Amino acid sequence: MTLIGRRADTARLGELLRDTRLVTVTGPGGVGKSALAAEAIGRLGRGRSAPEVLRVDMAPVREPVAVHRRLAEAARRLPDSGRRAAVLIVDTCEHVAVAVADGLDALLRQRTGLRVVVTSRVPLGGGAGAAPPAGAGAGAAGSAPAGGAGTGAGTGGGTRRRPWPRGATLRLEPLAPADSVTLLESLAPHALLDDDGDREALHATCALLEGLPLAARIAASQLARHCPDRLLERISRPAGCLDLAVEEPRWPARQRSLRASLRWTHRLLTPAEQLLWARCSVFPGTFRLPDATEVCADERLPPGALPAVFRALQRQGVLVLRERAGGGRVAAGAGERPVRMARPVRAYGMEQLVRLGEEADFQRRCLDWTMVAEDTWED
């Protein structure tokens, strides 16, 4: 079954797998990285020409030694080089990115015919000459080392002992609005699609879910108990989308609600990154690095340290570049590119700000900023 709205991404991943032996698919939690990897690999061949596919899930592991053990176990299960092509999927690597990159470097040297697809919310780090994603400019392929500034406590520890394995990084973005609607309608009971009011409510729901396939699937699971209008009412509340949950034991716990998915991301961050996420949630629309510095900096987040923290939140997908009305990114100089938080991300950050007891102070600082800089952000 073809993934809705992912035709170009699927083709691009297939091209990268033909050109390089290591591809990292990155993107925010719930964007569909694992599904895209499975779809693209399934198109590499049919019958006898199909490669042997093995999957290693890194979600349960925390220590580098456990990462290397899992990769070694996978290596023993791979077919001998020359007998049959093989593709290894290494899933959910963001919390052990350094250890995974280190282990894959050794594995790719040993298995010359092996191709690897990694899924991670942060890049592992590509090599020189890594191919950029479709439609991206130079530098879109990941080249920063995993575990670099701002990757947080969960990157697997250790220092780099050898060059990172060469590879490409494909950044997966949320679905376009029309594709998001198509996905939700494909998952909804058919009877709802015959009523114009129900369809209108589903379209409004999609707009609030910001194009995340995981969010669409969770929302669709609610339609067995709630009518579309009731579902829309629930997620229209600031934290309403966070509270939606699916009772599906086959799903990983981190994917059974948007709150769980964002909690997983939150735990990957350093304390400074967590703090900036919370404080930036006071911005109601788009903002830039100088704005974040003016509103969020203090002795706990010094202005000189804030740019690195800001960039780390961009790598993690907490802050995303504003898009033009016609689709495309807004071009601007470094530090001047407007960013925003997706609605669920902002809601989660605001919860953390309230928990820190800083909501009133930073709402007031944002209001003061707004009075003199209204033209720097948009609803």
- What confidence category does residue 253 fall into, taking pLDDT thresholds of 50, 70 and 90? confident
Query: What's the pTM?
Result: 0.81
* Contact yes or no for 17/23 (Cβ under 8 A): yes
- Checking 247-254 for CB contacts under 8 A at 24+ apart, the result is 247/221, 248/221, 252/59, 252/92, 254/29, 254/59
* Cα gap 199→201, rounded to integer Å: 5
| Range list of H helices, 281-342 | 289-296, 306-315
Question: Tell me, what amino acid is at 208?
Answer: L
Is 161 a residue whose pLDDT tops 90?
A: no
Instruction: Give the tens place of pLDDT for each residue, 10-50.
Output: 999 999 998 899 999 999 999 999 999 999 998 887 766 78
The pLDDT of residue 82: 61
Residue 14 main-chain phi, psi, to 5 deg = -60, -40
Nearest of 5, 132, 124 to residue 58 by alpha carbon:
124
Q: How many residues are there in the chain? A: 379
